[in-house]
């Protein structure tokens, strides 16, 4: 009965959850969530809140409707209220330019929050387990996460997009094997999700390929990764305490919608505290931004150490950091001096480009239009270019990668680094790391507004397209 004990200890450890009169439990129909629901109902009524079941059909698999029906019948059998809903996750992914996994997460938490609010519940419970935690920590390590990311999932946090709701993970210390054993012991017959075997999904590759290899060297790896997450969570709390003190001393007055640090006080901080204060500032000014990438924060911290007055650098969330004599001012890049009326990419990720179609660059307001251009002809201005490209090949917009090179038209096949080209073109320093590049696979096709790659030159008989960057309407 290890699983029951784990859940009982979990509620004892978090009085805020124990005080909830009602919770919503996300139930997919798989072993984890079915075991969580069953174990919750097995607890004495005095030890647990009332339960409402919620199931979201992501419409990604033919069997998903069967999963929804299974959850409805299970809730009815166990005399529980239940809300089921179907959402088209692929359409959300296309609309928000997210991966399928991220779009599914977005829809799932939005749905769970809506159900909790409708039912008057103060918390949502989900069934992430200890194996999920190990996979999460390893995935984040591979992506280069810092202390905050390597804490993994938190046992108790807030629902993304609905901070008034608690988000609990009672099974976070329970291994998947113990969950399977619990289901077998109690005759539970959960649904099997075939997508868990799809190794085009990053988490599944870690689960089925990488973890088994690493466990051959360290059989206790999953437990060690879980313990690492717990240790780093306690150390992160120390960093946050130091950051609270640094914030109180460094933040100074700024106009509404902006934020400023005293330049002297900020410069005296350790680099890790500087980075944490910048992350806090970005989240405060852009609360809808889910992740604050490490790279642009690190670049900004290095920039501050050597920057002169009136220089600027871009931050995540379409923000700029502008150096004044006594302040470091964070403000929307669209109104920052030298950045207004210039195109730039919001983040580090590539954005898929429709061929033909229109693609937004983000908060700067610029957008890219790609249309067919059957005959090579003169283009109206620097913001448009004709290029040869197979119609079926994918295009993307992104910023330059470190050390990236291309073959500027007119250099007779010689290559040049994108960074050096932008410097020679007198692009403002703050914009160079975020300047939009039209790319095909790993190859730069066009440095937006400046130069075509010679290999993409439009030629008679080739599939020819017109790309044009449009300023905000």
pLDDT (average), residues 67-91: 93
Q: How confident is the model at residue 224 (pLDDT cuts 50, 70, 90)?
A: very high
Q: What is the pLDDT of residue 391?
A: 63
Q: Who contacts 39 (Cβ-Cβ below 8 Å, separation ≥6)?
A: 3, 4, 7, 182
Mean pLDDT of 213-240: 93
CA–CA dist 414, 430 (Å, integer): 27
Give, for 212, the enclosing helix (H) or strand (E).
helix 211-217
Instruction: Give pLDDT tens digits for 157-195.
Output: 999 889 899 999 999 999 999 999 999 999 999 988 766
Beta-bridge partner residues of 312: 322
- Pairing between β-strand 367-372 and β-strand 464-470 as defined by DSSP bridges: antiparallel
The mean per-residue pLDDT over the stretch 245-250 comes to 96
Q: Determine the pLDDT at residue 197.
A: 63
pLDDT of residue 42: 92
Mean pLDDT of 38-43: 93
Tally the C-alpha atoms within 13 A of residue 159's C-alpha that lie toward its C-beta: 27
**Listed range (51-60, 169-178, 240-249, 423-432) with the worst mean pLDDT:** 423-432
Nearest Cα residue to 141 out of 220, 214, 217, 219: 214
Average pLDDT over residues 387-395: 79
Domains of the chain: 2-217 (3.40.50.620), 243-335 (3.30.465.60), 351-470 (no CATH)
Of the pLDDT bands very low, low, confident and very high (cuts 50, 70, 90), residue 221 is very high
Give me the residues paired with residue 328 across strands.
261, 323
More confident residue, 396 or 432: 396
Q: Which pLDDT belongs to residue 372? A: 84
Residue-level pLDDT at 291: 73
The tokens describing 457, both together, are 């030159």
Instruction: Point out the least confidently predicted range of 108-122, 237-251, 280-294.
Output: 280-294
pTM, two decimal places: 0.71
3/73: higher pLDDT = 73
Please report the pLDDT score of residue 195 as a whole number: 67
Residue by residue, DSSP assigns 296-365 as: HHHHHHHHHHHPPTT-EEEETTTEEEEE-SSEEEEEEGGGSTTTTT----SSSS-EEE-SSEEEE--TT-
| Mean pLDDT value across the chain | 88
Of residues 134, 288, 150, the one with CA closest to residue 211 = 134
Q: What is the three-class DSSP state of 81?
A: strand
Spatial separation of the C-alpha atoms in residues 176 and 464, rounded to whole Å: 53
Is the pLDDT assigned to residue 293 strictly greater than 80? no
Residue 169: which of 147, 183, 153, 180 has the closest Cα? 153
Higher pLDDT, 350 or 169: 169
Between 362 and 44, the more confident residue is: 44
- pLDDT on residue 269: 95
DSSP per residue over 395-431, as a string?
EEEEPPPTT-EE-BTTSTT--EEHHHHHHHTT--HHH
Mean pLDDT to the nearest integer, 144-163:
89
Q: What is the 3-state secondary structure (H, E, C) of 281-301?
A: HHHHHCCCCCCCCHHHHHHHH
pLDDT at 123 over 60: yes
Using CA atoms, how far apart are residues 168 and 14, in angstroms rounded to an integer?
Answer: 9
Q: What is the number of other CB atoms lying within 10 angstroms of the CB of residue 138?
A: 22
Q: State the Cα–Cα distance between residues 235 and 452, nearest whole angstrom.
A: 49
pLDDT at 378 over 60: yes
More confident residue, 83 or 146: 83
- Residue 153's pLDDT is 94
Q: What is the pLDDT of residue 125?
A: 97
Tokens coding 242? 């130091």
Average pLDDT over residues 9-34: 93
pLDDT band at 458 (very low <50, low <70, confident <90, very high): confident
340: pLDDT strictly greater than 60: no
| pLDDT at residue number 365 | 75
Cα–Cα distance measured from residue 439 to residue 119, given in angstroms and rounded to the nearest whole number: 48
- Indicate the DSSP class of residue 189: -
pLDDT over threshold 90, residue 63: no
What are φ and ψ of residue 353, in 5° steps? -110, 130
Rounded average pLDDT over 204-222: 88
| Distance of alpha carbon 113 from alpha carbon 121, whole angstroms | 9
Pairing status of strand 451-452 against strand 357-360? unpaired
- Any idea what DSSP says for residue 380? S
Q: Is the pLDDT score of 38 beyond 70?
A: yes
The pLDDT value given to residue 14: 92
% residues pLDDT > 90 (the chain): 49
């Amino acid at each position: 009965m290890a699983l029951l004990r784990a859940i009982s200890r979990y509620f004892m450890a978090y009085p805020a959850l124990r005080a909830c009169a009602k919770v919503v439990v996300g139930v997919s129909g798989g072993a984890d969530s079915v075991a969580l629901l069953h174990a919750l109902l097995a607890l004495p009524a005095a030890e647990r809140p009332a339960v409402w079941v919620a199931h979201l059909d992501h419409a990604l698999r033919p069997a998903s409707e069967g999963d929804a029906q299974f959850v409805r019948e299970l809730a009815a059998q166990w005399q529980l209220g239940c809300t089921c809903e179907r959402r088209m996750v692929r359409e959300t992914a296309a609309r928000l330019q997210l991966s399928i996994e991220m779009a599914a997460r977005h829809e799932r938490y939005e749905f769970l929050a809506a159900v909790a609010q409708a039912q008057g519940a103060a918390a949502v419970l989900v069934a992430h387990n200890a194996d999920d935690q190990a996979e999460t920590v390893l995935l984040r390590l591979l992506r280069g996460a810092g202390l905050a990311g390597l804490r993994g999932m938190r046992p108790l946090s807030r629902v993304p997009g609905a901070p008034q709701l608690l988000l609990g993970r009672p099974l976070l210390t329970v291994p998947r094997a113990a969950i399977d054993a619990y289901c077998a012991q109690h005759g539970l017959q959960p649904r099997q999700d075939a997508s868990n075997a799809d190794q085009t999904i990053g988490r599944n590759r870690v689960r089925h390929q990488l973890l088994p290899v690493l466990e051959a060297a360290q059989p206790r790896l999953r437990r060690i990764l879980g313990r690492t997450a717990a240790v780093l969570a306690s150390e992160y709390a120390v960093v946050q305490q130091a950051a609270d003190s640094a914030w109180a001393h460094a933040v100074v007055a700024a106009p509404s919608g902006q934020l400023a640090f005293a330049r002297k006080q900020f410069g005296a901080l350790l680099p890790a505290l500087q980075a944490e204060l910048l992350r806090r500032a970005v989240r405060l000014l852009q609360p809808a931004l889910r992740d604050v990438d490490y790279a642009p924060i690190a670049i900004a911290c290095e920039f501050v150490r050597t920057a002169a007055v009136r220089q600027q650098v871009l931050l995540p969330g379409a923000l700029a950091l502008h150096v004044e004599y006594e302040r470091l001012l964070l403000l929307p890049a669209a109104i920052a001096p030298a950045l207004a009326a210039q195109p730039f990419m919001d983040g580090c990720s590539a954005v898929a480009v429709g061929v033909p179609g229109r693609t937004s660059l983000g908060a700067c307001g610029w957008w890219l239009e790609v249309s067919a251009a059957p005959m090579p002809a003169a283009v109206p201005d620097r913001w448009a270019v004709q290029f040869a490209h197979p119609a079926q090949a994918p295009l993307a917009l992104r910023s330059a990668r470190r050390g990236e090179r291309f073959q500027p038209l007119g250099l007779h096949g010689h290559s040049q680094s994108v960074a050096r080209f932008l410097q020679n073109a007198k692009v403002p320093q703050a914009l160079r790391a975020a300047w939009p590049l039209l790319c095909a696979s790993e190859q730069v096709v066009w440095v937006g507004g400046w130069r075509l790659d010679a290999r993409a030159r439009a030629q008679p008989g080739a599939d020819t397209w017109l790309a044009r960057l449009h300023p905000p309407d």
